[in-house]
Amino acid sequence: MHFRFIQATYILFVEAELARRLRAWRPDILSIYERSRDVFEEVGLLEDSAKVVSVVNEALIVVEEFAKAY
């Protein structure tokens, strides 16, 4: 029970941080991120915390690299 709460809180925090960075760097790709989050939910990645952490960390790296390029 506590793990699920911590996991959900972490996911919400990282999603908010990713959205904040996207909004600051490239508002036009924020909608791409939002669509990809829906896909993650459909595939079921949000159920497996290890996958969630991996996917979110990769997404942050990709967004940072993309933002640096532009």
- DSSP H or E segment with residue 64: helix 49-69
Rounded-to-integer distance, Cα 27 and Cα 52, Å: 23
Rounded-to-integer distance, Cα 17 and Cα 19, Å: 5
Whether pTM exceeds 0.85: no
Give me the residue label for tokens 């939002």: 34
Q: What is the mean pLDDT of residues 32-57?
A: 65
Kindly indicate the confidence band of residue 13, based on its pLDDT and cuts at 50, 70 and 90.
confident
What DSSP letter does each residue of 24-36 carry, written as one string?
HH-GGGHHHHHHH
Per-residue model confidence as pLDDT tens digits over 21-44 = 767 776 666 666 666 666 666 656
Quick one: pLDDT at residue 24? 72
DSSP state of 44: T
Range of the domain at 57: 2-69
Decide: 68 and 26 in contact? Cβ < 8 Å: no
Quote the number of domains for the chain. 1
